[in-house]
Structure 1
Amino acid sequence: MDSVNGVFAVAEDQADEPEFETPPVFVEQDERRMHVRAYNHWAGLLNGREFPAPDDYAPEMLDDFGANSVLLDFTAGSQKPVLRYVGDWLREECDLEVGETGVEAVPSRSLLSRLTDHYFEIIANRAPIGFEAEFTSRRGNNTLYRGILMPLSADGSTIDHVYGVINWKELAEPEMEAALAAEAGFAELSLAPTEGVDFADGADGADDAEKRAGGGVADCLTRARDAADALNKSDDRSRLALYEALSSAWDFHLSTLGAPDEYARLLSQNGLKVQQRAPMTPVVKLIFGKDYDKTRLTEYAAALSHAARADVSEDGFGAFIQTFDGGLKGMVKAERAARRAESAKPTVDRNAALRDKLRAAKSIAVLPLDVPGDEEFVLVVARRNADGGLGVVGAVGHHEELVDRALRRL
């Protein structure tokens, strides 16, 4: 699901002040991000107004991000936006013909749709909105993207245009990622120092090597936190980095199984408690932090829970998630389905005793009706005649809930 945030808030309109304050310009390390540069350009065009004017923009002249941008025109109404400009790279990504200007022509699973799907929020918020997410493109590639939508106004008040910029990165195919991960693992093993480790010494030497390679719970936690930190600091947050972080989290979880006291101490030190119904939640909070994005924590915990359900071995999580249909999202979906199946209560026939009683009851009339189906109990509709008798009109098509209600009333 896309994550949309109004992270570029324009100063609120003050009744006593006819002009708007210029929003802040983001500099230094953020300047390397295309959506921040696009925002800074938008803010630089305000000149005391609430919104820049559409005429201030010439996307085809913006070499920095023009090819990654789109200009939406709402002068005919918010329900009829027109693609006034689409950058070459965006047009190529979604295979949009040059003559096509209607939003309805935008393919549903294209990067351009990531921009056009959010324009109503711009009109409602009257402020730039930044967003970032991951999705599977029409070509089947896992794609990370980050973008921004910014409002424009010809009269200075009514939003009649929206300018959007998006940057993206397509990740390697799962097979390629698995190969890269394997190669990275082999390279890491080949670089590991072996001097001074004498495996011919028997049990003591083997224990020494195991300690050096594995370490205790605290060491596993440190490695897991390092992997999580590397993921958070990664600008593109690749799937490989995510899977590496989750693999380290899984190995940390396995290490806690053999040292429950040490695990309990770590939880206590970090203000966490064991959760019987969600045992992986404190694991991911220990690694990623209690204040980490709640949605992602929930997904990560679900993925680890599904690995536990599948009895994944130590160092086996990477291969497990790489080959799982749908990757992380697929594991989360599978775990939630498994939980629903476990919590589903068996169906109880509340009318079982009544049905038994009716089976033994004497019939008050036998009607030679040809009723479709072979259900045991059938609802019959009758009309009261002038002489007080009941004239049968017909049988009601079978409906389990309706039959049950009728039986209870009877």
Structure 2
Amino acid sequence: MSDMSEDFLDLSEPDFEAPPIFADQDERRMHVRAYNYWASLLRGRELPSVTDLDPASIDDFGPHSILLDFTEDRENPRLRYIGAILREECELSSADIALDHVPSRSLISRLTDHFFEIIANRSPIGFEAEFVSQRGNNTLYRGILMPLSSDGDSIDFIYGVINWKELAGAEFEAQLAFEAHEADGEDVIVVHSPEAAVVELEPNDLAGRLAVARANAAAVQTADQRSRAALYRALGNAYDFHLASAGDPDAFAALLEDAGLKVQARAPLTAVAKLVFGADYDKTRLTEFASALGAAERAGIAAGGFIAFVVSAEGGLKGLVQRERAARAKPAVKPTTETVRARLRAADPLAHIDLQSDEEFVLLVAKRNESGGIDVLEAVPHTQNLLEVALKRLAAH
């Protein structure tokens, strides 16, 4: 932390005027509610008394707040209170520690830049910014620091309230992509972040579903390639998109046309994989993804069930893909003369004639008559080889 001068707590402001209370729609913001609370503690004074503050009793924003005490060490103040939610975010086991013990890439560490503004202005300072958290995620935060005094003059305590939203790569991209879709194609610049997160947007149409699926698929590329969760989630989105496309074939066809893709009859799900992951994605991986989607479809997996399906599969995704490939590569069983015999035994007769024979199957010679029918003339003397030839011809038919 930067040096704080010896007299920083004794600055005066002769023309004090009570600050306003904000209302209406601003009340929806936590930092505005915190400001109004601070203002309510003034009671005609320039600074609220720290003895009037009891953050643990504030259900609204108390869990998001801290209380800094400068009375013992002006350069390294002590946190006398850290709200439970904020303490959890910063991974702190204690609610009473010196500021230099706070993790360097935590939200609380971001507040130190504003201390001098509080001292110089002798009034609350609101702020909002973005930084990369200790978990590597983009974190958007908004908050307020408010001066307090133990003697009515010196600023020797600061009360802060901060709210935030941590956005991992997939969520950040999905939100932008979805908003772009809602704006009918408005251009959006998507910035990748190093981690993936669960994205649970609920678009109403197929294009919106594709936007979310693509964002999660992008997270697979930017995240650690060993992250199975990110990959399974992206494939789950792709599978759900595929199921939804059956209910809106026209929209699906339009999306394929926009992407310059066509569905191949021998591998229909490859087009879905390309739509979601990109046509320039690794071809081997696209084929694997299509196989996994095909396995889920073959098993009749419902929407939302892909992740459980692949996790419970023997050998995971790899085993699933191998079995699906084996099933598709398995040659069709060609009928044999025995299967033809079984079929003939179960078939209904086309006609009946009185002809005595000891053989189960008999070759007959017939001719077409003038009315277009068939007249059976004679039975061919039994020859096993000749019969086998006839049965093979039927099997190949």
Identify the TM-score tier after normalising by the shorter chain: 0.3 to 0.5
